[in-house]
Copies of this chain bind each other. A is one copy, B any other.
Amino acid sequence: MRWSRYFWYTSKDDPADAEAPSHKLLLKAGFIKQVASGIYAFTPPAHRVLKKIEDIVRKEMDRSGAQELLLTVLNPAHLWQETGRWDLYGPELFKLKDRNGRDFCLGPTHEEEITDLVRHFVNSYRQLPLILYQIQVKFRDEKRPRFGLIRCREFIMKDAYSFDTDEMSAIISYETMKFAYERIFKKLRLNVLMVEASVGNIGGKSSHEFVVLTDYGEALVAYCENCGYSANAEIVPLGKGIQEEEEEKPLQEVYTPNVETIEELANFLKVPPRKIMKAVLYIVKGEPLMVVIRGDRNVDEKKLEAILGTDEFRLADDEEVRKLLGTSKGFIGPINLPDGIRVLWDNSLWGVKNMVVAFNKPDYHLVNVNPGRDFAYGEFVDVCEVRDMDPCPKCSSPLKVRRGLELGHIFLLGTRYSEPMKLYYRDQAGEEKPVIMGCYGIGISRIMAALVEQYHDQMGIKWPTVVAPFELDIVCVNPQDSEQKKVSEELYLLAQEMGIEVILDDRDESPGSKFADADLCGFPYRIVVGKKLKEGKVELVKRSTGEREDLEVEEAIQYVKELIQKDKL
Contacts and interface: CB of A to CB of B under 8 A. Distances in A.
A143 B99 CA distance: 8
A569 interface: no
Contacts of A65: 5
Contacts of A98: 94, 141, 153
Interface stretch (A29-37, A296-304, A380-388, A405-413): A29-37
Given A9-B121, A35-B113, A120-B33, A44 B72 contact: no
Given A98-B94, A99-B141, A121-B30, A130 B7 contact: yes
A76 B154 contact: no
A341 interface: no
Give the size category of A's interface with B.
35 or more
Given A7-B132, A44-B132, A39 B69 contact: no
A365 to B, nearest CB: 42
Give the number of times this chain occurs in the complex, counting copies: 2
A35 B126 contact: no
Contacts of A185: none
A126 B508 contact: yes
A13 to B, nearest CB: 14
A228 to B, nearest CB: 35
A84 interface: no
Q: Specify which of A30, A46, A74 lies most central, judged by the most chain B CB atoms within 10 Å of its CB.
A: A74
A69 B46 contact: yes
Nearest to A156: B70
Contact of A7 (B30, B121, B137): B121
A491 to B, nearest CB: 22
Given A6-B67, A67-B6, A143-B99, A41 B72 contact: yes
A232 to B, nearest CB: 25
A40 interface: yes
A270 interface: no
A244 to B, nearest CB: 48
B76 A73 contact: no
Contacts of A70: 41-42, 46-47, 50
Contact of A35 (B74, B91, B96, B139): B74
Nearest to A51: B68
B71 A36 contact: no
A43 interface: yes
B95 A96 contact: yes
Contacts of A153: 74, 98
A150 B76 CA distance: 20
Contacts of A72: 35-36, 39-41, 154
Given A36-B74, A120-B33, A154-B74, A41 B69 contact: yes
Given A50-B70, A74-B153, A99-B141, 16 more contacts: A4-B126, A30-B121, A35-B74, A35-B75, A35-B76, A35-B113, A36-B76, A41-B117, A44-B67, A47-B134, A73-B106, A92-B99, A94-B98, A96-B106, A99-B143, A137-B137
A69 B43 contact: yes
A102 interface: yes
A383 B39 CA distance: 46
A192 to B, nearest CB: 25
A417 interface: no
Interface in A39-66: 39-44, 46-47, 50, 65
Judged by DSSP, the binding face of A is: mixed
A104 interface: yes
Nearest to A9: B121
Contact of A73 (B95, B132, B154, B508): B154
Interface string A485-509: 0000000000000000000000010
Pairs of residues from A and B, 10 with the lowest C-beta to C-beta distance, nearest first: A96-B96, A42-B70, A9-B121, A44-B67, A36-B76, A91-B99, A99-B141, A41-B71, A44-B69, A47-B69
Q: Specify which of A65, A70, A104, A130 lies most central, judged by the most chain B CB atoms within 10 Å of its CB.
A: A70
Interface string A104-129: 10100000010011001100001000
Contacts of A76: 35-36, 39
Contacts of A116: 35
A39 to B, nearest CB: 5
A6 to B, nearest CB: 7
A71 B136 CA distance: 13
Nearest to A507: B126
Contacts of A43: 69, 117
Contacts of A102: 36
Given A30-B121, A104-B36, A73 B71 contact: no
Nearest to A4: B126
Contacts of A141: 98-99
Contacts of A136: 137
Contacts of A5: 65
A521 to B, nearest CB: 15
A143 B100 CA distance: 9
Given A74-B154, A137-B137, A68 B47 contact: yes
Interface in A120-173: 120-121, 126, 130, 132, 134, 136-137, 139, 141, 143, 153-154
Contacts of A106: 73, 96, 106
